[in-house]
A and B are shown apart, each in its own frame.
Chain A
């Protein structure tokens, strides 16, 4: 494992001489939703997501501009109405620009602006499993700080461990769950019924505050 990590650092240092700086991070974000309807699927207003991101960096005069693409997935589940299991899953992709100010070599405050697209899935399990997935455009902005730790000894461009923490907000149109129903049956059925009705459960605002914690490498 150590050999593999060392090889990664060496190859990254060599590669960095020709290509723009790259970075990859993994992280956790928590989205806080205060809408009353969110209580249907959660008990404390938090939706925790895992996040994978990769990007590159452009150097401007006093700024570093990171451009990254990310994938995130999270969800929450609880029981509503005494005995009805409910859940909300949120999958999303995101493109973001991050402007960093290197106030110290190891400390970079940043401002992030991004847009994305999320797929929200609401599930209610009673006599049948009712579910619906709806797509949402998302816009987000955040402020944070990045801490860098140099891992290699190269003078020009090294390999850095990066850890950043941020807080901001995400704006989405309300997720409309107006056709929640059983998942379609795949394959042939013996003597099926003609149709299944669906349920308009309503709409769920999914705009809120975000907190993010990311860790990764820049090389």
Chain B
């Protein structure tokens, strides 16, 4: 399907925003400006943006502990995210969630999840709510190759098939669960085929290619929306960084590390769109400039922002008392 110029520009802007956001967060994490640790999504941008392009305000996504990209792709404010990740007042979660638990229910983002495999059952729940309330919505449950081994994921897939709910499990296979390669941690099986064996249609796609991801998303999400049935997409992605910032990636060979950034989804996108004459090169430069400015401003604002008031340690534990 041909995407119009505005959609293409916006898609690129989102991918570029994720990239710039992650590079900035990675640097500030290493320098100690950001507390705790962060898991970066750089290199996987086409997956989040290509999938979320098919989602609207009625739709939900569940996410992983590598969730910044999903947040941005679903429409969360990068300024609010930045404040949150810096642990500042006014952050998306008031500084109580941080990177691994960032959520934005106002845009249908059910939350990153610090528990590998924790999110898949939640995605089934959001899909059940959409079905019961007849909102016409679907839920995309992002999970990683590591999470695909968890019992919760198996249970969630079983439940989705039994309950017949419109959930699309998107397995972002970046080749590693933490520091252990998928060839080992999943016993070398085909993740899509394993998911399909629960009784769903499963499709594989190259996650560096935005257009391929989007085409699959359009088809699979469209069908889930139409039939109310679950499905699976396995997206092959490259994790540019280690499991978390500061991971020296000693488990990756020099050859692999040299190759990992060669298929940059942003570059592939730009090249193809410029070659097709859809968007001139200078517009990309303009977008890159605007994104850089926005991220820089967001980071500066976060650094300058006050920390949450200490009295909020005990607020929001319960709704009613």
Please indicate whether A and B come from the same complex rather than being unrelated chains: no
Interface on B for A, CB 8 Å cutoff? none
